[in-house]
Amino acid sequence: MEIKAEDNGASPDQQRKLANKKLGFKLLWIVAGSIAFSIALVPLYDVLCTLTGLNGKTKTTASVISNTKVDESRWVTVQFTSNVMPGLGWNFHPKQSSIRLHPGKIQTVLFEAKNITSQVVAGQAVPSVSPGVASIYFKKIECFCFVRQELQPGETKLMPLRFFVSTDLPSDVSEMTLSYAFFSADKQ
């Protein structure tokens, strides 16, 4: 690259050094930009997942019931599964393994949790719906997963879930699975 020796006292060599430094610092902006991008990806990812239900993420707050029409022409099966993650000394399972219902109809199912340790233990349930496309049509009105749950030593608790399946569920979905993973919510 040609460097013209302008008459400002600096030798071409010094001018070149200056130009190099300048460009070097400019390139640091790209680095800063991509650091910012990696941090921004976290909220973006969450927004994208809850909006679209990718990954089976469901809402973590209660849905409002806007439309109480029940679509009696359709049957949908919802299956329930449960997992207790390592580090949580509980037994946890649904009282029924599946339910058949009409879209729009509000249902309640019960889950049973038992603390099998001799300590007070807190847990947090994380739901996930599969297939992922169905998750935004799965509406929870009341769920034990909205807040932390605490069990006394040996205590057994019935935990209710009230939900409905939205009537605009795509017609090719007739079955979905709701899975709960219960995590320890105590600080180790």
Residues near another protein (CB under 8 A) are: 1-2, 16, 19-21, 23-24, 27-28, 30-31, 34-35, 37-39, 41-42, 45-46, 49, 52, 54-57, 60, 85, 124, 126, 130, 132-133, 181, 183-185, 187
Q: Which is nearer to another protein, 37 or 75 (CB)?
A: 37
Question: What value, to the nearest 5°, has the Cα angle with vertex 164 and ends 159 and 166?
Answer: 150
Q: Which is nearer to another protein, 16 or 95 (CB)?
A: 16
Secondary element (H or E) of residue 11: none
63-99 per-residue burial string, b: 16 or more CB within 10 A, e: under 16: beeeeeeebeeeebebebebebeeebbbebbbeeeeb
Euclidean distance between CA atoms 44 and 39, whole angstroms: 9
Q: Which is nearer to another protein, 5 or 19 (CB)?
A: 19
Estimate to the nearest angstrom the gap between the alpha carbon of 146 and the chain centroid. 12
Specify the 3-state DSSP secondary structure of 116.
coil
| Token reading at 123 | 């847990």
Q: Which is nearer to another protein, 104 or 123 (CB)?
A: 123
CB of 60: closest distance to another protein in angstroms?
7
